[in-house]
A and B are shown apart, each in its own frame.
Chain A
Amino acid sequence: MLALAAALSGGAGFVLSPAMAKTFRVNVVADPAQMDPITYSEIVAGRILRNMYEGFTVITDDGRNVPALAEKWEPLTTGPGFRFHLRKGVKFHSGRPFTARDVKYTYEALLKPGGKGGLNATYLNIIVGAKELKDGQATELAGVKIVDDYTIELSFTKPDVLFPIYPIYYMDSGIVAELGADWMTKASAGTGPYKFKQWRRGVSVDLDANTSYWGGAPKIDGVSFMIVPNADTALSQYDAGELDFVDVYAAAVRRVLRDERYAKELIRVPRAQSTYLGMNQNLYAPFKDKRVREAISLSIDRNAMIRGLYGGAAFPLNGVVTPGMPGFNPNLPELKFDPERAKKLMAEAGYPGGKGLPPVDISSTEAFKDEITYYANQFNRVLGMPVNVKTVERATFIRAMNAGEVAFFPWGWTADYTDAAYYLSQMWYGPSPYNRPRWKNAEYDKLIDEALTVADDDKRYALYHKAEKVLLDDWGMAPVPMTASVALRKPNVKNVTLTPFGFSLFSKIEID
């Protein structure tokens, strides 16, 4: 048995490490798919990278965008674009200073063919010369001008007031020369409060505190993102003190909400995910009638859903923009459950008691099977609508939705940056492929086009509210309850929480 223990420790990467006193341990659902800010495209990597890398701005816990690597910026006078004034005295994890050269380097790395830029590269498409660089016709990004070490000018092909808040992480331009092309397996190249220590695949990603962080050194020694795919395992690890903070996955949410023991450690926030029931008018003729769409919305008992289906782990949503998101409209009227009016509207539309309605599938992925079963039953009972339930493999389903091939479905769109434009300009804007139910309205599109040129936040938000009202008045979709993010936090841990956008920043965490 001893020999076996020795074999185990030699062969399978065993390390005998005593638990460190001040490491913050939190769970993530899977291994990240990548650990660099260029190819990065998915949510787990995002949660980890966010603590190592920074952009021009950063999201505060209450959902505001505040300056980070850029101290201030102003629009260019010569055409669309910005002049950014970079923060001085910021050092990368390597010790090299952060300057305008690194900004240009990051953009080029994201756009260069073969550079394998991830999803965030699309935010750079508006910079002059981006297309030429992507196509290999240019070697440099023409629209970027380095004025001096701490001033950089970006020219755009069209105005975009939101550019400063786009999630672009700036990286150290000297890292490849120092550590080679696979530098991301050895170090991090950011400016953030933590730096990369190691990634043990299937076990954890470990970060060390960056003691020379410009925003003040963290008060703990490091962070461990423990890779725990199973909801119950994560909860047991929290119970046993192996995690300081547990992100409770959907499968364990009911159990956690019901258990009195957790009441004082519970954090529950609405997700920054705009949830809706999509009705594609091109695919199911009765949806062309606004009365039918309104009747659908009226026959959803949202409060019963929140209590029953979600066991309390959900919040009502009355529009497109989720609470906490800049541009949210708190004055939207509550969406009512009114079966009588729904029936009346259906009769007016020529379908009394559902007579004459062709059958329709309500479809979604396995994860939404309870929801679609509820809806099918509800529409059948209240409206007499012949609705069948259908579940589809996720990637196939998403592709079908993006192609506008799904008639009737519940879905959600998760925000990648903090401005209501993320929802409004992608989910319901005419030309967007993510306008999955293919609702189209010229007035709406015009309002969105206009909003994206208005730099003043309040004026822009006013335009958002107008556009949102156009959509709601037309019953272009039915907003449905947003599920909650649920987490538990040990009483000895301070200054970390859950926000609608995920974990709060870990830079100020304290562990007693």
Chain B
Amino acid sequence: MLRFIVGRVVGLAPVLCAAIVATFIATRLLPGDPVAVMLSDHSADVQMAARLRAEYGLDKPLPEQFVRYIGDILTGDFGLSFRYVHMPVWQVLKDSLLISPLLALAALALALPVGALAGVQAAAHRNRFQDTAIIVVLVAGLSLPNFAIATFLVYLISVKLNLLPVAGWGTFRQAILPVVILAIPSAAYIARLTRTFMLEVMQQDFVRTARAKGLTNRLVIYRHAFRNTLVPLITSAGIIFGGLLSNTVVVETIFNIPGLGRLAIDSIFARDYPVAMAVVMLFVVFFALINLIVDTLYALVDPRVRDGAPA
């Protein structure tokens, strides 16, 4: 097992290297010069432009900039931000670092039980009114874009009813709406998964046996059928978490939350290459970690994966 995990971690290295090269090239290909952005209307100030260019190493040829950048990564400070004057990238990042993963985690913690319960209910009342009603809600939850739901809920709950803050970050109340909105599509997805798994499980012999024993419907569903859907559900939670992490970008923008997603967008628009590259790398690390966890979970469940035998 340990060998499996070590092997996976070593396998991350080329992924990270590829990410570093790709982000470096992508940011340098963007139209727009960071020094011109810094100076904005005053970019005719050649003295100032030359000074800034030298200060940030932008006067050097690209290969040399790349080597310097690798050096900055190895020393751990990722260089200086272009947007925030004289601030190391790490200092810009550090307040945002945990926000996006926490949002995603909170949304997952909400989506899992809600989604699972809805899925079970739908399966238990297959083709009856409850099932149809739940499916309609699911389809809506999956197909309505996040920002549309967010706008509607903000208008209703925050502006009209004044129950929760419109936007911002810093209090628990401010986190409620973003987490709920982030959780909606995932909850719907989980519900659909659960329903499918449940319907499959309920066809099986042991369920028929349980019924034959004379157990109540509730016991059959929760103790026997639902337990068997938990395993595939938990393994898909990793993938769902990854999706949630990407969706934080949208929610952070709508709710004005200073997380990594918003930072990524802001820094790209400001041509703040060092910050943009560091954020992209952090996301790569997060996704790699999620995949590692999911793979480990699979390996735990299925010995074939662990032993490297063909699945």
Residues of A within 8 A of B (CB): 1, 4-5, 7-9, 11-17, 30-31, 33-34, 39, 41-42, 116, 118-119, 122, 200-203, 226-230, 232-233, 236-237, 239-242, 393-396, 398-399, 402-403, 413-414, 433-434
Whether B165 contacts A240 by the Cβ 8 Å rule is yes
Closest A residue to B258 by CB, please name it: A202
Q: Which residues of B contact A17 (CB under 8 A)?
A: 170-171
B96, CB-defined interface residue at 8 Å: yes
Whether A41 contacts B38 by the Cβ 8 Å rule is yes
Whether B172 contacts A9 by the Cβ 8 Å rule is yes
Instruction: State the CA gap A7–B83 with chains docked (Å).
Output: 30
Residues of B within 8 A of A (CB): 31-34, 36-45, 48, 55, 83-86, 92, 95-96, 98-99, 102, 105-106, 109-110, 151, 154-155, 158-159, 162, 165-172, 175, 253-259, 262-263, 266, 271
Whether A395 contacts B33 by the Cβ 8 Å rule is yes
Given A227-B256, A230-B254, A433-B44, A11-B102 contact (CB < 8 Å): yes
Whether B167 contacts A228 by the Cβ 8 Å rule is yes
Rounded to whole Å, the gap between the CB of A427 and the closest CB of chain B is 11
Q: List 26 A-B contacts (CB under 8 A).
A: A1-B110, A4-B105, A8-B172, A13-B95, A15-B170, A15-B171, A30-B266, A33-B85, A41-B85, A202-B263, A226-B168, A228-B167, A230-B253, A233-B166, A233-B256, A236-B159, A237-B167, A240-B159, A241-B162, A242-B168, A394-B32, A395-B33, A395-B36, A396-B33, A396-B36, A403-B44
Q: Which residues of A contact B96 (CB under 8 A)?
A: 201-202
Whether A7 contacts B102 by the Cβ 8 Å rule is yes
Rounded to whole Å, the gap between the CB of B187 and the closest CB of chain A is 15
Instruction: State the CA gap A236–B40 with chains docked (Å).
Output: 30
Closest B residue to A411 by CB, please name it: B41
Whether B258 contacts A399 by the Cβ 8 Å rule is no
Given A200-B258, A395-B37, A122-B172 contact (CB < 8 Å): no
Whether B36 contacts A201 by the Cβ 8 Å rule is no
Whether A399 contacts B33 by the Cβ 8 Å rule is yes
Contact of A31 among B45, B84, B158 (CB under 8 A): B84
Residue from A395, A402, A434 with most neighbouring chain B CB atoms (10 Å): A395
Contact of B159 among A42, A239, A433 (CB under 8 A): A239
Rounded to whole Å, the gap between the CB of A401 and the closest CB of chain B is 9
Instruction: State the CA gap A14–B98 with chains docked (Å).
Output: 11
Given A33-B85, A394-B32, A237-B258 contact (CB < 8 Å): no
Whether A201 contacts B38 by the Cβ 8 Å rule is no
10 A-B pairs besides A200-B170, A233-B254, A398-B36 with CB distance below 8 A are A14-B172, A17-B170, A119-B48, A202-B96, A203-B168, A228-B167, A236-B166, A237-B168, A240-B158, A402-B43
Q: Which residues of B contact A34 (CB under 8 A)?
A: 84-86
Rounded to whole Å, the gap between the CB of B192 and the closest CB of chain A is 24
Whether B162 contacts A393 by the Cβ 8 Å rule is no
Closest A residue to B255 by CB, please name it: A233
Instruction: State the CA gap A8–B76 with chains docked (Å).
Output: 25
Whether A4 contacts B258 by the Cβ 8 Å rule is no
Whether A39 contacts B86 by the Cβ 8 Å rule is yes
Whether B85 contacts A203 by the Cβ 8 Å rule is no
Instruction: State the CA gap A230–B85 with chains docked (Å).
Output: 23
Instruction: State the CA gap A398–B32 with chains docked (Å).
Output: 10
Q: Which residues of B contact A7 (CB under 8 A)?
A: 102
Closest A residue to B158 by CB, please name it: A240
Closest A residue to B55 by CB, please name it: A116
Instruction: State the CA gap A242–B167 with chains docked (Å).
Output: 9
Whether A202 contacts B95 by the Cβ 8 Å rule is yes
Rounded to whole Å, the gap between the CB of B3 and the closest CB of chain A is 32
Instruction: State the CA gap A393–B33 with chains docked (Å).
Output: 10
Contact of A202 among B39, B83, B262 (CB under 8 A): B262
Instruction: State the CA gap A303–B171 with chains docked (Å).
Output: 48
Instruction: State the CA gap A236–B33 with chains docked (Å).
Output: 34
Whether A236 contacts B43 by the Cβ 8 Å rule is no
Closest A residue to B31 by CB, please name it: A393
10 tightest CB-CB pairs across the interface, nearest first?
A202-B258, A433-B44, A395-B36, A402-B44, A34-B85, A11-B98, A236-B166, A393-B31, A395-B37, A237-B166
Rounded to whole Å, the gap between the CB of B46 and the closest CB of chain A is 8
Whether B95 contacts A242 by the Cβ 8 Å rule is no
Instruction: State the CA gap A201–B45 with chains docked (Å).
Output: 29
Q: Which residues of A contact B99 (CB under 8 A)?
A: 12
Rounded to whole Å, the gap between the CB of B147 and the closest CB of chain A is 10
Contact of A119 among B42, B106, B155, B165 (CB under 8 A): B42
Instruction: State the CA gap A449–B158 with chains docked (Å).
Output: 57
Whether B253 contacts A8 by the Cβ 8 Å rule is no
Whether A398 contacts B43 by the Cβ 8 Å rule is yes
Contact of B154 among A226, A227, A236 (CB under 8 A): A236
Q: Which residues of B contact A226 (CB under 8 A)?
A: 168
Instruction: State the CA gap A39–B254 with chains docked (Å).
Output: 31
Whether A201 contacts B258 by the Cβ 8 Å rule is yes
Whether B42 contacts A5 by the Cβ 8 Å rule is no
Q: Which residues of B contact A395 (CB under 8 A)?
A: 32-34, 36-37, 40, 43, 271
Instruction: State the CA gap A398–B37 with chains docked (Å).
Output: 9
Q: Which residues of A contact B155 (CB under 8 A)?
A: 236
Contact of A203 among B40, B258, B266 (CB under 8 A): B258
Rounded to whole Å, the gap between the CB of A132 and the closest CB of chain B is 15
Q: Which residues of B contact A201 (CB under 8 A)?
A: 92, 95-96, 258
Instruction: State the CA gap A228–B257 with chains docked (Å).
Output: 9
Closest A residue to B259 by CB, please name it: A202
Q: Which residues of A contact B162 (CB under 8 A)?
A: 240-241
Q: Which residues of B contact A240 (CB under 8 A)?
A: 158-159, 162, 165-166
Instruction: State the CA gap A15–B171 with chains docked (Å).
Output: 6
Rounded to whole Å, the gap between the CB of A39 and the closest CB of chain B is 5
Whether A14 contacts B171 by the Cβ 8 Å rule is yes
Instruction: State the CA gap A118–B31 with chains docked (Å).
Output: 25
Q: Which residues of A contact B84 (CB under 8 A)?
A: 31, 33-34
Closest B residue to A236 by CB, please name it: B166
Whether A39 contacts B85 by the Cβ 8 Å rule is yes
Instruction: State the CA gap A11–B266 with chains docked (Å).
Output: 22
Instruction: State the CA gap A378–B162 with chains docked (Å).
Output: 47
Q: Which residues of B contact A41 (CB under 8 A)?
A: 38-39, 42, 85
Q: Which residues of B contact A239 (CB under 8 A)?
A: 159, 166
Rounded to whole Å, the gap between the CB of B129 and the closest CB of chain A is 31
Q: Which residues of B contact A1 (CB under 8 A)?
A: 109-110
Residue from B159, B165, B166, B266 with most neighbouring chain A CB atoms (10 Å): B166
Given A7-B102, A233-B256, A200-B32 contact (CB < 8 Å): no
Instruction: State the CA gap A78–B122 with chains docked (Å).
Output: 93
Instruction: State the CA gap A237–B154 with chains docked (Å).
Output: 10
Q: Which residues of A contact B158 (CB under 8 A)?
A: 236, 240
Residue from B34, B43, B255 with most neighbouring chain A CB atoms (10 Å): B43
Q: Which residues of A contact B110 (CB under 8 A)?
A: 1
Q: Which residues of A contact B92 (CB under 8 A)?
A: 201
Q: Which residues of B contact A119 (CB under 8 A)?
A: 39, 42, 45, 48
